[in-house]
Structure formats: C-alpha cells, structure tokens
Amino acid sequence: MVFESVNPATGERLKSYPELSTAEALRQVEALHQNYRQSRERSRTERIPKLKKLAHLLQEGKSRYASLITQEMGKPIAQAEAEIEKCAWATDFYADKGIDFLKETPVKTDASKSLIRYDPLGIILAIMPWNFPFWQVFRCAVPAILAGNAVLLKHAPNVPACALAIEELFQEAGLGGLFQSLFIDLETTARLIESPVVRGISLTGSDRAGSAVASLAGKHLKKVILELGGSDPFIVLDDANLELAVPAAIQARIQNSGQSCIAAKRFLVAEKIADRFEEAVIASVRRQRVGDPLDRSVTIGPIAREDLLVKLMKQVDESRACGAKLAAGGERLQAKGFFYLPTVLLQARPGMTVFDEETFGPVVVITRVQDDEEAIRLANQTAYGLGASLWTNDLKRAEPLISKIEAGSVFVNGAVHSDPRLPFGGIKRSGIGRELGREGILEFTNIKTVWIR
C-alpha cells in the first residue's frame, strides 16, 4: 500500500511516506498499551485542560490545517476551514460535557448500593476515511480518549500529511502518549485487530470495508462501531417551501464536492411541484463554479482520486443507458486534476445504478413520486439507512412519516448533518453503533454493573 499525497486539483504527486512493517507496528501498539495502562489510573478530569488546549490549537492553526486538507483531498478551502472549526467545537463540547456523561449512574435495587460505572476498554483502533480527514478522526478520538482509552489511527492512504498533522496536534496538547498514527497496510491492520490489547475498532468507510472489519472483529470478539455508506433520500412533499428546500438540496448534494456519506443522493419529489423543483435545481447547478479549491469563489472542487472519478462517470453513464435523462453536466472537466461537472439526472428509478448505489460526487438524482406513500417506499428502497431529509410545511403531516423512514437520522425541513450534541450513525448497510452525543462516548466503555450488599 502506498501512502502518497497527490493534489487532486492538479494531479501532482506531492510526497510519499514509508509504510511500517508489521513487527514495527506491533511494537508501537505495545508502547501505546503501556501508556494506556499507566494513564487509566489517573482521573479523567486531568484530560480536560488538554482537550481545551487541543481545541485552541485547532483554532490557532485553522488556516494551515485547512490548506492541508484542500491540498491532499481537494475540499474547497472555506469548507476545509469549517471542518477544522467543527473539530474544535466537538473537542470543546466533550471537554465541557464529557465528565457528566461518564458519571456513575445510581440504580435503586434490593442492594444497599447499586450503580453503573463506565470504565475504559483499552486501545481503540480508528480506521478513518479521506473525505473529512480531520473531522472523522476527532469525532472518534476525542470522546474515546476522554473516556480513558487510547487511540490508534490507521488513516486513508491518500491523506498521510493530515494524519501526521493530527498526531502532532495531540502531542502538542499533551495527549501524545494516548494517540498514535501508523502508516500500515491491510494485512498489518488485520493483525492489529487480532491483537489482544486492541479492544475496539471504529471504522468509517464503505460497506464493503465495514463487512470485512466486522467479520474479523467478530471472530476475535471485539466491539465495533461502523459508519458506512449512505444513499440518503431528500423527500420533498407537495406543500414544501421550495424557496428553502432548493438551496438546501443543492448544498446537501455538493457539500465536499458531493463526497459525503450523508450527502443527499436521491431526491424524491412530489409530482405536483416537480417541474418547479427541477427547473430551480438545474438553474442552480449550472451556476456552481468548478475549479481550484483554494479559490474562495469555487463551490465544487475535484474528486479526491482519479479512480473515484472514473467510477462516478461509469455510474452516470450506466444510468443514462437505462433511461435516466441528463439535464446538466455529465462529463469530466477537461483540465488538470480530477474534476467532474455538477450533474442532474431526471427520471431516475430503482434498478438504475445512481438510484441503487451510493454516488460519491456532485450528481443530483431526481425521481418523481405520486404521494407520501410512494415517497416513503422509495426512500426505504435502499440497502442503506444513514440519514433522510423530509420537507413539508405541515409538521403534523411529517410526524407519522418520521417513524416509517428507515434511517439513523431524520431531519425535517433541514439538510442532514452531524452535530456533537446528537448521536450519529445508521442502520442496515450504513453501519452499527453511534458516535457523538452521550451515546457516542459510552460506546467504547465497559458499562459495568456494581452491586453492594
């Protein structure tokens, strides 16, 4: 496996990084385990000022870290800055609230005293993706470390400089002994999952990767949190406010150049308002500016890797061959780098690649529906269940629909997004377990019952 920085806006190869041998990786894991054993006896409150410093360092170095994200995976610079700010927000949130989340919970029983403790597990292996190279790591590592664990990072091969920068941040904040980044291949990663000192695995990635990790973790009886793919529906009922829904739809699809698990990917629009919705979306898509992600006027940057661009083009071409109507875009921008014009496909239906599979890029897929029942049926007609967005001016109409939508999150009159204050995760092939909120910090703890006569 090659750990190499390639600028997707230019195709320029920036720097390669050596891969660790399995033996060296295992030695570093053992050293991290020794640090964990020494630190777990100390109070969690000692980690609060270190988390506060970590949040400060993120804000202080925002420009540098955002530029690094943009350089390695092509995120438009303003969005990269927002990613760093969100990492700082989540870090501050857990510094302020985490200890309360982890307090012992008394339970009245026939004992003189009974309670629930939340003890750390040990080393958590974080296998993280490239699309939000800082955020995905921080939302896993910060609560895990506050809970008393140590975190081992196996980052995506195309964002090695981001991985090193994150490791340096934890070191500078005084948490270096509890956080380690390793450049390792899949075989070595498997060996770490097997290691008895690795007690949990958090993976964000494809459902295929999730299945492989879950299978190995299950064999060795390890706790896993999986945040996998999504094909999120964006449901627009016939009474929706299009002045609000259309801009939200565009942002929900093109954020991070469409490379997000929780991006809106299938737009299910009531027939009564479909003409107006499609016309407004097509006009907005054509106004988007594609180009150098360091240019603040650019709204859509490159696809992160050329192989991902080729896959996206194939999905669109296959769907058009099956009857999807191209209304905008649909081709690679002939320039250096891995750019794809924002695209709108109409008349999409089940059986087409863009409806059945997750699309990672700026492709709006619109399907007309006759009524609420059809909207919900098609929304659930997917292997995924990460998030869903529902648009209506009648909240009473929305209430019974919310329970019918098969997803980990439902946002009414808003685009799906993650928030440190709320648990985040999916069902079906979108994953197992939750991150963020109180639920997220408890996932990698031993929920221990204590009964005293």
Which residues participate in catalysis according to the annotation? 227, 261
Q: Give the CA count within 13 Å in the CB-facing half-sphere of 408.
A: 29
410 touches 187 (CB < 8 A): no
State the Cα–Cα distance between residues 40 and 388, nearest whole angstrom. 39
State the Cα–Cα distance between residues 338 and 311, nearest whole angstrom. 12
Residue whose C-alpha is closest to residue 268's, from 294, 309, 311, 238: 238
53 touches 82 (CB < 8 A): no
189 touches 154 (CB < 8 A): yes
Q: 77 phi and psi, to 5 degrees?
A: -60, -40
Residue whose C-alpha is closest to residue 145's, from 449, 373, 448, 445: 445
Question: How many residues appear in the chain?
Answer: 453
Task: Give CA separation, 98 vs 51, 223, 385, in Å.
Answer: 11, 21, 28
Q: Give the CA count within 13 Å in the CB-facing half-sphere of 26.
A: 12
430 touches 262 (CB < 8 A): no
Residue whose C-alpha is closest to residue 90's, from 126, 52, 118: 52
94 touches 440 (CB < 8 A): no
Angle (CA) 398 403 404, round 5°: 95
Q: Treating both helix axes as pointing N-terminal to C-terminal, what angle do 135-146 and 160-172 enclose, rounded to 10 degrees?
A: 30
State the Cα–Cα distance between residues 259 and 361, nearest whole angstrom. 5
Angle (CA) 411 415 418, round 5°: 80
Strand 113-120 to strand 105-106: parallel, antiparallel, or no bridges (unpaired)?
antiparallel
Kindly state the DSSP code that residue 45 receives in the 8-state scheme: G
